[in-house]
Amino acid sequence: MSEKPLPLDGNSAAGLLSELFAVEITGASITCDGCHHAAPIGAARLYGGRMGAVFRCAHCENVVVRLVRTPEGYWLEMKGARSLFVQARGD
């Protein structure tokens, strides 16, 4: 019958993220504002299905990032993230 609302991994949303960020962002480390756990965006829990990407901390389930693509553009919200660390390219 119905599909379970199981989360996916953050890396599943890499295509959507790549439309917005100039760097490959799923490898970037994001620190949850709720529990201070730091982990790559690709390792976050992904919810929201076709409505949008809701990234939740894999440690405490707090929402760290939300990203919605509408016909007009992109809505990004990150108030659940304390910081985002993107490693400099080694070239």
Partner 1 sequence: MLATEKVQPTRKLPWRTATVREIIEETPRVRSLSLDIPDWPGHRPGQHVDIRLTSDDGYQAQRSYSIASAPEAAELLVTVERIEEGEVSPYLSSEVIVGDKFELRGPIGGHFVWSAFMTEPLFLVAGGSGVAPLMAMLRHRAAAGNKNPALLVYSSRSFDDIIYRKELAALAARSDGLKVVHTLTRQQPAGWTGEKKRIDPEMLSRVGFSPKEQPRIFICGPTQLVESAARALIELGHDAGLIKTERFGPTGA
Partner 2 sequence: MSEPPVSRGFRGKQRSSDHAARTPPGQHLVNDFPVLSAGPTPRIDLVKWRFALTDGHNKFAEWDWEQFNALPQTKIKTDIHCVTTWSKLDTEWRGVTFDDLLAAAGLDEAPTPFALMHCYGGYTTNVPVEDMLEGKAMVATRFAGEELDPEHGGPARLVVPHLYFWKSAKWIQRIEFTETDTPGFWEELGYHIYGDPWREQRYAGD
Answer yes or no: are the C-beta atoms of 22 and 36 closer than 8 Å: no
> Given strand 81-85, what is the order of strands in its sheet?
38-40, 29-32, 81-85
- How many helices (H) and strands (E) are present in the chain, helices listed first? 1, 8
Contact between 54 and partner 2 (CB under 8 A)?
yes
Name which of residues 69 to 88 contact partner 2 (CB under 8 A). 70-73, 75, 77
Name which of residues 12 to 71 contact partner 1 (CB under 8 A). 12, 14-15, 18-20, 22, 24-27, 39-43, 47-51
Residues that bind partner 2 (CB under 8 A): 1-5, 7, 45, 47-52, 54, 56, 61, 63, 66, 68, 70-73, 75, 77
